[in-house]
Amino acid sequence: MVTMKLGSKPDIFVLEGLTWRCMTELESDVVVEVGDMSFYLHKFPLLSRSGVLQRLISEYQPPSDGGGGMCTLQLDDIPGGAKAFELAARFCYDVKIELNALNVVCLRCAAEYLGMTDDYAEGNLIAQAESFLADVLANWKDSVRALETCEGVLPAAEDLHIVPRCITALASKACASDAAAWSTHGAKNASVDGDALWNGIGSGDTPRGAAAAASAMDWWYEDVSLLSLPMFKRLIQAMEAKSMRAESIAGAIMFYAGRLLPGLNRSASFSNVSFADYGGGAGSRSATPRSATASLSGTSDGDQRYFLEEIIALLPTKKGVTSTKFLLGLLRTAMLLHASPLCRENLERRIGAQLEDASLEDLLVPNLGYTVDTLYDIDCVQRILDYFMSSMDGLGTGYTSPALAEEGSQLGLPHAATPPAVAPIAMVAKLMDGYLAEVAPDTNLKLPKFQALAAVVPDYARTVDDGIYRAMDIYLKSHPWLSESEREQLCRLMNCQKLSLEACTHAAQNERLPLRVVVQVLFFEQLRLRTSIAGWFFVSDNAATATDGAHLHHPGNAGAIVPKGSAVVDSGAAGQDEDVVMVTPEGKGSETMSNVKARVSELEKECMSMKQEIRRLGKPRRSWSILTRKCGFGAKVQQAQTAMSGK
């Protein structure tokens, strides 16, 4: 902390209870009362420095009853109170004082109030305080402390433009540091590993470079979190005006809210909330409050509700810069505090826009409504899911349905138009399958609500329906009173053709499923087995076919087994087997007939191996049928097989 020493004389002030006395040879002739404190001083030192005191002393009229001739002045409205006036009085007596970031603002405002300009003495208190304030604003820590002290003298500090100057200094330093850190560390680490950093802050086991970037970007979060909400809000707005990255602004707001709003983190107490719980990791700082003013735990629900709504309004609107975990924490707090419907709708829309980043644990929002029907708030999650699906309008989603992709390939579109392996809608489908499995045991969850939530995600979003089958099975187990028609209606949510082998085996033995569904499962599994075997090979009567329509006949190749889609063309020497080449379907290479023969031999061996495997699998199937009969499942499987044979 920078300091500045003024004055040269030793201390002559003595505190006696609520009275300050100036211990000199001369008797005091003026009393200045500031609140409960009384200062017994002398007129001359005060007249030589302060224009206001000079005017008040000259205008003073003693009481008409003659009760004492000492001049008494009332200065109850001086900025900074008795502490600030004490420093000003010491300055008038040229007693040694020390200016620092914690008292310079109050002293500057008090000097302005007392009129201590250079018109009365060269190098007066206003000039000294202004000179030192410039040094304070050049330092980050001191600027934060000075801005904090502005709260006590807010009207005067605003009139003297001290608050805007502090905010501008802080915003400039933070923006410059953030830009430098991002250009040095953040951009490089983001290009190397996009998952290593979230909002410029480590989100787990981050590399050393990512941790350095995080530490370089979030160093100022804890300092500004000590500010009051109005000051913090003005500082964030100033940073936005200076084009600070939305990721850094969101990180600062999350840190600020995380230490002041209780309940955002379910696994930690309010006093131990840290930014690491909301996406922070390496480089993040502990959020242990330094002062009692940095907590809202003792405030009313109305004050916390106002604080929550202000924080939500401050968050950047850019998608993905605010953690979905943090947004869901705000939503739970908003429900607990009964925030306005507009506030909750805003949060639900933000969460829905980035639902693919949510985790199942955070999505389990307790039902905090006035009428509690279910353990978890199903309606809230359905609204969030509806917002997500409305954002998946096909523009910039990175996902195309399989039907559209197949149509595009037939039209000759490039391979880049095909859907990626992992898309947001596929991630949300997996998330919702897990959510349905978690809420399914709730006996108060009605079938229409379960169906409505499961039907929001389209069928093409699920590559495998094992998740939705598991959720349905749990629901059927927890709701044994459902009728046969209701069970069949529920099972329509599942596509039997998209079940894995394990799921099909389980479904074939599942007594909770309707018989019609079991028949469908067995039928599609048998059909898929036949199709997969037939898709590997095909038997050709000719050796090969030429790519340009010409055919090459060779007696030794009749009835050979050739990989599907392959083509063999004549290389110009029909009498030599070694010169015949095979062109791959992509047209990128060719193989001689000797290589083709070797591959055919390998395929024949694989075919024999598959046949042996099929025969081997046939034996457990018989023993399995005996086991199922012993366990009570044989009747249903037998009925299913009979129904299949009758088709």
- Reported as a single tens digit per residue, the pLDDT across 497-519 is 888 888 888 988 888 888 888 88
Indicate if the pLDDT at residue 634 is higher than 50: no
Q: What is the mean pLDDT of the chain?
A: 76
Place of tokens 């353990």: 375
- Residue, of 637 and 125, whose pLDDT is higher: 125
Residue 160 vs residues 110, 153, 436, 606: alpha-carbon distances, Å: 11, 11, 60, 88
Q: Which of 284, 346, 336 is nearest to 310 (CA)?
A: 346
How would you list the strands of the sheet with 567-569, edge to edge? 567-569, 581-583, 590-592
Measure the CA–CA gap between 79 and 643, rounded to whole angstroms: 92
- Residue, of 592 and 514, whose pLDDT is higher: 514
Q: What share of the chain is helix, strand, coil (3-state, %, to 5)?
A: 55, 10, 35
Residue 183 vs residues 214, 320, 431, 571: alpha-carbon distances, Å: 13, 20, 35, 59
| Domain covering 3-160 in this structure, CATH number | 3.30.710.10
- Residue, of 407 and 158, whose pLDDT is higher: 158
pTM of the model: 0.71
Measure the CA–CA gap between 41 and 594, rounded to whole angstroms: 116
The mean per-residue pLDDT over the stretch 79-96 comes to 95
The mean per-residue pLDDT over the stretch 284-302 comes to 49
- Residue, of 571 and 428, whose pLDDT is higher: 428
Indicate if the pLDDT at residue 29 is higher than 70: yes
Indicate if the pLDDT at residue 34 is higher than 80: yes
Return the pLDDT at 523. 85
Confidence of residue 596 (pLDDT cuts 50, 70, 90): low
Sign of CA dihedral 205, 211, 217, 223: positive
Rg (CA), the chain: 40
Measure the CA–CA gap between 246 and 239, rounded to whole angstroms: 10
Q: Which of 303, 320, 219, 307 is nearest to 258 (CA)?
A: 307
Return the pLDDT at 620. 44
CA atoms within 13 A on the CB side of 203: 17
Indicate if the pLDDT at residue 69 is higher than 50: yes
How would you list the strands of the sheet with 71-74, edge to edge? 13-16, 19-22, 37-41, 30-34, 71-74
Indicate if the pLDDT at residue 619 is higher than 90: no
The mean per-residue pLDDT over the stretch 443-470 comes to 92
Indicate if the pLDDT at residue 439 is higher than 90: yes
Per-domain boundaries in the chain: 3-160, 168-183+221-265+299-342, 423-538
Return the pLDDT at 406. 45
- Residue, of 622 and 48, whose pLDDT is higher: 48
Q: What's the distance, Cα to Cα, between the start and end of the chain in Å?
A: 88
Measure the CA–CA gap between 405 and 394, rounded to whole angstroms: 13
Confidence of residue 477 (pLDDT cuts 50, 70, 90): very high
Confidence of residue 632 (pLDDT cuts 50, 70, 90): very low
Measure the CA–CA gap between 490 and 524, rounded to whole angstroms: 19
Measure the CA–CA gap between 453 and 379, rounded to whole angstroms: 9
What one-character DSSP code corresponds to residue 368? -
Lowest average pLDDT, out of 13-17, 216-220, 417-421, goes to 417-421
Measure the CA–CA gap between 474 and 263, rounded to whole angstroms: 31
Q: Which of 91, 75, 94 is nearest to 37 (CA)?
A: 75
Lowest average pLDDT, out of 63-67, 247-251, 553-557, goes to 553-557
Return the pLDDT at 615. 64
- Element counts in the chain: helices (H) and strands (E): 27, 16
Indicate if the pLDDT at residue 252 is higher than 70: yes
Confidence of residue 391 (pLDDT cuts 50, 70, 90): confident
Return the pLDDT at 355. 94
Q: Which amino acid is at 75?
A: L
Residue 630 vs residues 417, 515, 623, 627: alpha-carbon distances, Å: 52, 19, 11, 5
**Tokens matching residue 232:** 């913090």
Q: Which amino acid is at 364?
A: L
88: CB partners within 8 A, 6+ apart: 50, 107, 110, 111, 114, 116, 125
Measure the CA–CA gap between 265 and 274, rounded to whole angstroms: 9
271: CB partners within 8 A, 6+ apart: 288, 289
Three-state SS for 382-409 is HHHHHHHHHHCCCCCCCCCCHHHHHHHH
Return the pLDDT at 410. 41
Please state at what angle helix 81-92 crosses helix 104-114, rounded to 10 degrees.
70
Confidence of residue 68 (pLDDT cuts 50, 70, 90): low
Number of other residues whose CB lies within 10 A of the CB of residue 478:
13
pLDDT tens profile 300-338: 788 889 999 999 999 999 998 999 999 999 999 999 888
- DSSP track, 36-103: TEEEEE-HHHHHTT-HHHHHHHHH----TT-----EEEE-TT-TTHHHHHHHHHHHHTTB-EEE-TTT
Rounded to 5 degrees, φ, ψ at 210 are: -65, -40
Return the pLDDT at 597. 63
Return the pLDDT at 167. 97
Q: For residues 47 and 27, is the Cβ–Cβ distance under 8 A?
A: no
Place of tokens 């005191």: 53
Q: Which of 279, 274, 289 is nearest to 357 (CA)?
A: 279
Return the pLDDT at 67. 55
Measure the CA–CA gap between 390 and 395, rounded to whole angstroms: 11
Q: For residues 327 and 272, is the Cβ–Cβ distance under 8 A?
A: no
Place of tokens 């979003």: 461
∠ Cα 93 94 100 (to 5°): 115
- DSSP track, 176-214: HHHHHHIIIIIHHHHHH-TTTEETTEE-SS--HHHHHHH
Lowest average pLDDT, out of 116-120, 217-221, 359-363, 529-533, goes to 529-533
The mean per-residue pLDDT over the stretch 104-118 comes to 96
Measure the CA–CA gap between 69 and 72, rounded to whole angstroms: 9
Give the β-pairing of 561-563 and 537-539: antiparallel
Indicate if the pLDDT at residue 598 is higher than 70: no
Lowest average pLDDT, out of 264-273, 464-473, 585-594, goes to 264-273
Q: Which ranges constitute the DSSP H helices of 242-340?
A: 246-260, 301-314, 324-336
Measure the CA–CA gap between 54 and 47, rounded to whole angstroms: 5
Return the pLDDT at 530. 73
Please state at what angle helix 162-181 crosses helix 104-114, rounded to 10 degrees.
150
Residue 132 vs residues 63, 93, 398: alpha-carbon distances, Å: 42, 20, 57
Return the pLDDT at 65. 65
The mean per-residue pLDDT over the stretch 194-205 comes to 38
The mean per-residue pLDDT over the stretch 354-375 comes to 85
Lowest average pLDDT, out of 321-330, 443-452, 539-548, 633-642, goes to 539-548
Measure the CA–CA gap between 471 and 458, rounded to whole angstroms: 16
Indicate if the pLDDT at residue 482 is higher than 70: yes
Return the pLDDT at 368. 76
Confidence of residue 413 (pLDDT cuts 50, 70, 90): very low
